[in-house]
Structure 1
Amino acid sequence: MEEIRADGHFGNLRILTTSTCRMRCGYPGEDIMWCHNEGMERNKVPEADLDRMLTTVAYFRANFGIDHVTLAGLQPRLDDDLLGFIERLRAQGITKVSLVSHGLDLVPWLLRLRSAGLSDVVLSIQAFERAAYADIMGVDAFDNALAVIDACHRMELPITVNRVLLRGYHSDIPAFLAWAARRNLRVRLYDVLWMPGQEAQFLTHHVSWQELTGLWESLVERITVWTYGLPGRINIVFWLRGGGSVETNVNAPKRQHTTPLCLSCGLKDACAEGWLGCGIRVTADQKVTPCVLRPDLALPLLPDGSQYVGPATLTTYLAGENHEPAGR
């Protein structure tokens, strides 16, 4: 087993270009979504002003050394403006631009996105079987997801598959991982995230990846453990024979809650993400949201509409200190 230590996620800026999404990732048979909507109000926030967002990236790059941008959603926009945005990010010195997507409408854009400078794709697939996919994601687009994977494979564009685990919906994993290994896919498996007001659904459907390791044990040739200083997350990578990998994270809330704000938060015992769990997240309306469970703690980057909050204030904020809920 190999162990690697990393400082944290500060090199990654997660840009949310829109708050809209046609998928409804939720608990099967119930009209309740477990999706955290990236800490935004779903379908409520206007699309990002990409000229302003480019200035925001430059601000973070100058003050925090950002070199990796992740374009997220909820379901990221796909248009000529996004292509130009990626080109300008690359010209600005961003070394890696990733796209997180459910894959809808993505295939016709892939070649142009790659030509514009896209580095890789992260595809959300919550099941690897057609009926289960539709039950969980609310849209029957399983064939499209496979088409995205095949298209990326053909053009040698790296692709990662993200999946949230639900009890009773995991028997398809062995066959999929054997298929994924042949395509050298990186597969990340996550426990479903507890959200306030969803206690009954969480208790019924939650299953930890640690209960399921027997599903891929026979495929593993070596293991790597990544330990991140902030948010105190431990990721375990199971490298598969023949290619590809399965990546999971160890849910250790007490370890993850290393910031003063987290230590005083009433949700800390149920929170599995931790402060800045996905890096620095900037919403389409120019707010930093380091915690998806507490959108009230989001920080407007342009409080007066024109001047960015000072680097010293932002540094303190990102450290999880001296917070006041938005609007106070």
Structure 2
Amino acid sequence: MLDRYGRVVDYLKIAITDRCNLQCVYCKSADTKYRPDYINDTLSADDIKFLIKAFAENGIKKIKFVGGGGEPTLHPNLPDFIKCARDCGIRDISLTTNGTTLVRIAQKLKDSGLTSVNVSIDSLKQYKYHAVTRNGNLNEVLTGIDSCLRLGMKVKINCVAINDFNDNEIIDFIQISRRIPVDVRFIEFMPYGEAKAIYNRGHYDIKSVIEELPGIRKIENTDKGSIASYYKVKGSKGRIGVITPLACSFCNKCNKINVTADGMMRLCIHSKSEIDLKPYLNKPYLFNENIQKLIWIKPRHNDLIKRQFVKNDLKINK
């Protein structure tokens, strides 16, 4: 699929639930509650399979299952969704997860066709990890990562860089990439959701921190469509990545679209604009007739950086 700026859109991130078994302080409020049986009240398993098949037929080559504020491994049909993507000819199938359930289901996900896993870890100290997630067990996550590596899946560890929280653990995270073949990626702290309240004191320039460390060299990023800058320590088995959407825009090579757990399509993850896909569910001819028109209007640039500048100007003028 092409947009009006000539970008080939072939990467779908699809959220299958917004329920999570953790309540990270920058994502969920402490009083967030779900029904015990809640997974997704909007999209059925058949709806999600339809979207996978329909997007694959229209040129999607890569799918990542995400939570959209939730934990995708909580969805009981996740292995079926992965298998559906594989049966549709998609070979790059990944998952973003908090990792707490991986040790129990990694084999099943691998057998279904999962090729890579992104695991979110914001501290390597159990007491900090428990605090930021409000109830997480770091040992469960690390054991899950070991399970994925033994099964031959590619693993990336995503760490949100937060000032005065994990800024003194950067070297510890880098050491992981030296010992085992994983990519450790530091993600710029963003002013989203609950994080807005602590953004001013939590944000810092993680890219400069990494580049100023001794013994680290920048390397070419050979991952198609990836927005990370990659670095390597001599002799290391893995890579160090930095993702900075605020400090550096990657819009000119953006190949992604996002579908939320309530059936809305975002042509830019940093935009609040959404397109309702529910009228097209299980209507393949209608979907195929309209999807290219919808992709065509994908914005050239995100407005996240512009909104941040405006916000700072307002503070200065007060």
Structure-1-length-normalised TM-score: 0.74
Q: 1:300 aligns with which of 235, 255, 276?
A: 276
Letter in 1 for 2:170: I
- Summarize the alignment of residues 167-182 of structure 1 with structure 2, pairs less than 5 Å apart: 167-168=163-164, 169-182=166-179
SS of the residue 1:156 aligns to: coil
CA change 1:216–1:21 in 2 (3 A) is: farther
SS of the residue 2:163 aligns to: coil
CA change 1:320–1:177 in 2 (3 A) is: closer
The Cα shift of 1:319 comes to 4.2
Structure-2-length-normalised TM-score: 0.76
Task: Verify the 8 A CA contact 1:237 1:245 in the aligned structure 2.
Answer: yes
Q: Gaps (5+ residues) in structure 2?
A: 1-5, 32-37, 302-318
Out of 46-55 and 125-134, give the one that drifted further.
46-55
The Cα shift of 1:196 comes to 6.7
Q: 2:66 aligns with which of 63, 72, 79?
A: 72
Corresponding residue for residue 286 of structure 1: 263
Tell me the distance in 2 between the aligned counterparts of 1:250 and 1:176: 17
Corresponding residue for residue 18 of structure 1: 17
Q: Deviations over 1:242-269 (max 9, x none)?
A: 21111113445685577xxxxxxxxxxx
The Cα shift of 1:288 comes to 0.4
Q: Deviations over 1:265-316 (max 9, x none)?
A: xxxxxxxxxxx96821112232102345544x21011336654371343123
The Cα shift of 1:195 comes to 2.9
The aligned length equals: 282
Letter in 1 for 2:189: V
Mapped pair 1:185 → 2:178: no
Task: Verify the 8 A CA contact 2:162 2:189 in the aligned structure 1.
Answer: yes
CA change 1:93–1:110 in 2 (3 A) is: same
- Summarize the alignment of residues 166-315 of structure 1 with structure 2, pairs less than 5 Å apart: 166-168=162-164, 169-195=166-192, 201-213=198-210, 216-218=213-215, 220-224=216-220, 235-241=228-234, 242-251=236-245, 255=249, 279-292=256-269, 294-295=271-272, 297-303=273-279, 306=283, 307-308=286-287, 310-315=290-295
CA change 1:9–1:44 in 2 (3 A) is: farther
Mapped pair 1:122 → 2:118: yes
Tell me the distance in 2 between the aligned counterparts of 1:66 and 1:181: 34
Q: Deviations over 1:168-187 (max 9, x none)?
A: 22212212321332111101
The Cα shift of 1:72 comes to 0.8
CA change 1:80–1:45 in 2 (3 A) is: closer
The Cα shift of 1:69 comes to 0.9
Task: Verify the 8 A CA contact 1:19 1:46 in the aligned structure 2.
Answer: no
CA change 1:51–1:217 in 2 (3 A) is: farther
Tell me the distance in 1 between the aligned counterparts of 2:57 and 2:127: 47
CA change 1:187–1:10 in 2 (3 A) is: farther
SS of the residue 1:237 aligns to: strand
Letter in 1 for 2:14: I
CA change 1:101–1:277 in 2 (3 A) is: farther
Corresponding residue for residue 311 of structure 2: none
Tell me the distance in 2 between the aligned counterparts of 1:214 and 1:253: 14
Mapped pair 1:89 → 2:81: no
Task: Verify the 8 A CA contact 1:226 1:234 in the aligned structure 2.
Answer: no
Corresponding residue for residue 55 of structure 1: 50
Tell me the distance in 1 between the aligned counterparts of 2:255 and 2:137: 26
Letter in 1 for 2:233: L
Corresponding residue for residue 112 of structure 1: 108
Tell me the distance in 1 between the aligned counterparts of 2:150 and 2:22: 26
Task: Verify the 8 A CA contact 1:17 1:47 in the aligned structure 2.
Answer: no
Letter in 2 for 1:285: D
Tell me the distance in 1 between the aligned counterparts of 2:195 and 2:174: 30
Q: Deviations over 1:116-137 (max 9, x none)?
A: 1110111011112112212222
SS of the residue 1:164 aligns to: strand
Letter in 2 for 1:235: A
CA change 1:152–1:215 in 2 (3 A) is: farther
Task: Verify the 8 A CA contact 1:174 1:216 in the aligned structure 2.
Answer: no
CA change 1:150–1:208 in 2 (3 A) is: same
Tell me the distance in 2 between the aligned counterparts of 1:44 and 1:108: 19
